[in-house]
Structure 1
Amino acid sequence: MAEDQNQHKILTTSDNDDKKMIRREVEKQRRMQMSILCSSLRSSLPFDLIKGKRSVSDHIGEAANYVQILKQKINELEIKRDKMKEMVSSSRVETGNELSADPSSVVKCVKIDLIPGGVEIVICSGLEDYSSRLSDLMKIILQEGCDVVHCVTNQVNGKIFHTIKSEVEDLAHLNLARLQNKLDHAILLSR
């Protein structure tokens, strides 16, 4: 009988040891996962918020503050966007250049993609007479250092698509954001 009790104690001790090892392993995995997540969070923050040696709780606090700052910036940009929309619509009314009620008459997009050796610009619009303003856009493209080599205009479902392919000598010196801005601005003014 004493042997049975000793054997039972050994089995119970063995079970407890197994449970402890499992718990230890689970905790080790949890700590590793938390470490990975904290590193990811730290890499997402701007450098000036994490410079110097700080604790994980400091980084989490800075991340929370940074999220609030980004929310505030988003709100400010939304307000700015709404004001700009109001200015554009009021300037159209003042000049008598209101857009028609037909939503297909509004320029939908200017998309610029890098292609080998240059850029491809696609302008999608619904304006029937928009082709007459294509020369203004070509001038902007040339001013930005692009040599137009191919231009195709297609009409699909009442929308006009201009696809302009151009070569660029040095893509590193081409400012795509400025080109996009100038084209958008030219299209906005031409309406």
Structure 2
Amino acid sequence: MKRQDDQKMDRKTVEKNRRIHMKSLCFKLSSLIPKQDYVFKDSISLQHHLERAAAYIKRLKERIEKLKHRKASCAADTECGREIDGAEKSGYKLPVIEVRHQEQQNLEVLLISGLKKNFFFHEVIGVLEEEGAEVVNASFSVVGNKIFHTIHTQAISSRIGLEASRVSARLQELIK
């Protein structure tokens, strides 16, 4: 008799642990679903929660498949590479040059080019020096398929100064 009671107790304990584990798993699942897709209310049954979670997962799978298909078609299409690069979408072509006055005698030159740049950096420095600028600082960084060059210059003579429009025009000629 005692043995049967122990077995019943073991079954009850196992069932209780199973239910606790299932509640824990359902709670974890509900925490992974975004708030707009998953509204947690006590009045909604567990079955309804699971259906919403399954629908959300199905939408994610479909989106992943669409993105994989789009990626594969873009990899095969060379024109799409330019579109992903962002230059064609935003309406400008690389390389891009922007010259700004920081103060009366200081200029900041920003050059954005592709990985296959169409100009030589030393030529840009040469143009700046010919226009009466001394390079104080120059740096670059690579982000995606673009190279960003930033050059800070200072006028050699404070009386002469620097003319941003003239420097910009000469740099535009250089990259053509």
Band the TM-score falls in, shorter-chain normalisation:
0.3 to 0.5
Q: Which has the higher contact order (CA 8 A, sep 6+)?
A: 2
Structure with higher helix content: 1
The TM-score normalised by the length of structure 1 is 0.42
